[in-house]
A and B are shown apart, each in its own frame.
Chain A
Amino acid sequence: MSRKIRGSIWLSVSYVLLAVVGVFSVYPALWVIMSSLRTGNSLYSETLLPTALTFGHYANLFDKYDFARWYVNTLKIAVTTTVVGTILTLLPGYAFSVFRFNGRKTMMSTLMVLGLFPGFMSMIAVFILLNLMNLLNTHIAVILVYAAGAPLFFLFAKSYFDTIPKSLVEAARMDGAGHLGIFFRIVMPLSTPLIVYTALSIFAGSFTDFIFAKLVLRTPETKTLAVGLFDMISTRQSTDFTTFAAGCVLIAVPITFLFILLQRLLTQGLTAGAEKG
């Protein structure tokens, strides 16, 4: 067999494989979208494509459940957490990357190690602390805990800042720029991929976390999407599966859209961080 024929056989095999992986990646999402449009409320269906379409389940979310309020709550928490958390992550990343000072390495390793432990391992204590501060069942509590945990993941930011040429910073310093001036006017504009990556992961994290939110938010008015949706199928034994699917679609669509929209910046941010490891 000549090299050429072998090459084109491999190429077709590659396309087949890509298609298989594509189906594998997309299928669950497709299945949920289809389920959300199906009549009835059961999990079981004869076909992937529904025979009769309905948007009733989406309406159900807003009539039978308090979906709109959950959405507003979640957005409020996620947006605030993202702003505060991103700042709290960029600051240590910058400090550790640019400056050399006493105790720097110790602080870095401590933060690194602490970042490896899931937050809820000490959830009882956080719960009691919040209780002492009279913050239980408030959104501030959730925002506070999410944002305070964000700096543990500074290493990515640090690695990214490391890739910014030192000569640039020094030149700015020679021109008389202060620390804050350098940070905002020179480093920040060069770090869009990093900021996007950090903000997006914090946003996605706080948008979808439910373990901690479930513990702290106790009344129906304060519920978030994740908690509401989780309760929907865990308390009703999945009898309302199609409505649940509609909820999933409404949660997943904005985040998925954001991810795809920012894909290029995301890849850059991930790579620059990864290269330096």
Chain B
Amino acid sequence: MQEFIMEQERSKLTRTYSRTAAVLSALAMGLGQLYNRQYMKGVILLAVHALALYTFIFRLPHAVWGLVTLGETETQLKKVGRLYKQVMGDHSVFLMIEGLVTVFVALIFIWIYVMNIKDSYRTGKMREQGEVPNTFKETVSFVLSYRFPYLILAVPLAGVFFFTIMPIVFMILIAFTNYTATHTPPKNLLDWTGFEAFRELFRIKEWSRTFYSVTLWTIVWALLATLTGYFGGFAVALLVQQKRIRFKSFWRTLFILPYAIPMFVSMLILQNMFNGQFGPVNQYLELFGIGKIPWLSDPTWAKVTLIIANFWVSFPVSMLMIIGIMSTIPQDMYEAADIDGASAFQKTRMITFPCVMYSMAPLVIMSFVGNMNNFNVIYLLTNGNPINGDFQYAGDTDILITWLFKLSMENGQYNFASVIGIIIFILLSAFAIWNVRRTKAFKEDTSS
């Protein structure tokens, strides 16, 4: 009986470890850890706390002010003594980027703070159960062996964060401002304009007409480019891999050439080959008595040229992949088909095609998505031309992504470019996520 009471007393005493530790950690990062006798960890966290305090007190208010107002003083001429001098005001874009970085850093601190409380609470709980908390050495080795994936992911993810995610967030924000070539910082201050640019894109006729035409061509282009590349590669693969064809590797090497030549070189070469006046293609056509074809100057022909050029660079990759997959199809299936007296065509249709399709389907969808953004081919071959007078800053062969490039880099219509960017973003991520969720690389994880 006495023993039981003592036991109860002790548990009453010790039960408070976790609560005290958590409260201390909430007061200042690291205090709870110190209380739990994890001195090294505690000191490190205290240092982090000091850094966080510095950020929150000295940097965050300015960052939030910058993000909300985008600057208040304009750049102007001011009289200094006798002379007028240009006095720099606030630079909206810099304020926006710096603000974003600071807010992100602050969020990371908050996350560490929450983790810190959780950690001291958990360690406190352990002590209540009579366990000894990890020493610093043990903590390090625990992290090294059980948190290994996070460790090796840290650097790549940090890179992606700074050079991909942050810029995309920035781009999205630009869509809600009045940032155009005629209204640029540091000369002017930017303002938040909400959905103004979105509304204009759909309401003003020149804009909406361009938008619909360009979107339609983007989809048609992506479909045709993907299908020709894929089935072209398939046909060539079937041709090369026939049993009786000799010098297989010689043929393959020959066909890989377009893939191996750097894209921007081959596109510039093709641009010259299809030159309407001097290009060799038209020279040969004339030789055969066919007139010159306006390959790059007529809207429809320019589109045809693009498809041909894209076919030329894209069939080798699908050929390589399909040959690879074909070599994994078990031979006895073909042998069985032979015994049943199947023709070569039947074997292709009933065995090769389904097997290849099964593996390639997700990749075909991905390449469709890739083709919607196939900037290089279009920019280098036609640059979106021929020019269409009815379009806002776009030519007949421009797809959304090249239009975006022209809008932002060449014409300074930054806010409209961002709106287009957001539309592409929404379109593609829906597609991509749907596709990714279906692929095997994701599916096989569900079991584990």
Contact = CB atoms under 8 A, between A and B. Distances in A.
Interface string A97-125: 01111001101110111101111111111
A168 interface: no
Contacts of A107: 153, 157
Contacts of B152: 91-92, 94-95
A129 B98 CA distance: 9
Interface in B159-215: 159-160, 162-168, 170-171, 174
B256 A259 contact: yes
Nearest to A232: B268
Interface string A5-46: 001001100110110011011101101100000000011110
Given A151-B160, A248-B265, A179 B145 contact: yes
Given A95-B153, A114-B160, A129 B432 contact: no
A92 B414 CA distance: 34
A11 B445 CA distance: 46
A274 B363 contact: yes
Given A101-B150, A151-B159, A252-B262, A122 B441 contact: no
A263 B440 contact: no
Interface string B307-325: 0000010001100110111
Contact of A122 (B167, B269, B323, B436): B167
B337 interface: no
A190 interface: no
Contact of A18 (B165, B245, B259, B439): B245
How many chain A residues sit at the interface, stated as a range, is 35 or more
A263 B162 CA distance: 35
Contacts of B163: 126, 129, 144-145, 148-149
A28 B269 contact: yes
Contacts of A96: 149
A118 B98 contact: no
A266 interface: yes
Interface in B272-287: 272-273, 275, 277-280, 283
A274 B264 contact: no
A77 interface: no
Contacts of B433: 109, 112-113
A158 B251 contact: no
A121 B436 contact: no
A203 B88 CA distance: 43
A161 to B, nearest CB: 10
B261 interface: yes
A57 to B, nearest CB: 15
A152 B324 contact: no
Contacts of B440: 276-277
A241 B251 CA distance: 31
B324 A204 contact: no
Contacts of A89: 156
Contact residues of B: prevailing secondary structure:
helix
A138 interface: no
Contacts of B94: 128, 132
A274 B325 contact: yes
B168 A255 contact: no
A211 B150 CA distance: 33
B446 to A, nearest CB: 10
A268 interface: yes
A255 B265 CA distance: 11
B256 A251 contact: no
B171 A121 contact: yes
A195 interface: no
Contacts of B93: 128
Nearest to B437: A109
Contacts of B265: 208, 229, 248, 251-252
Contacts of A270: 317, 320-321, 324
Contacts of B12: none
Interface stretch (B130-138, B220-228, B423-431): B423-431
Contacts of A45: 280
Contacts of A122: 164, 167-168, 170-171, 421
B257 A26 contact: yes
Contact of A255 (B262, B273, B421, B442): B262
Contacts of B164: 114, 119, 122, 148-149, 152
A112 B272 contact: no
B328 A230 contact: no
Contacts of A155: 441
A271 interface: yes
Contacts of A145: 163
B109 interface: no
A257 to B, nearest CB: 8
Given A95-B149, A207-B262, A271-B325, A18 B168 contact: no
A256 interface: yes
Contacts of A238: 272
A121 to B, nearest CB: 5
B324 A121 contact: no
Nearest to A96: B149
B343 to A, nearest CB: 9
Given A121-B171, A179-B148, 15 more contacts: A14-B245, A22-B254, A25-B312, A43-B275, A107-B153, A117-B168, A117-B373, A124-B170, A124-B414, A149-B164, A162-B441, A208-B265, A248-B268, A256-B257, A276-B441
25 contacts: A11-B242, A14-B242, A18-B239, A22-B255, A26-B254, A28-B261, A31-B280, A43-B272, A43-B275, A91-B152, A92-B157, A108-B442, A114-B168, A116-B432, A122-B164, A129-B166, A132-B98, A148-B163, A149-B163, A149-B164, A152-B160, A162-B444, A207-B262, A208-B263, A259-B259
8 interchain residue pairs of minimum CB distance: A271-B324, A122-B167, A148-B159, A125-B167, A259-B260, A208-B262, A125-B170, A151-B156
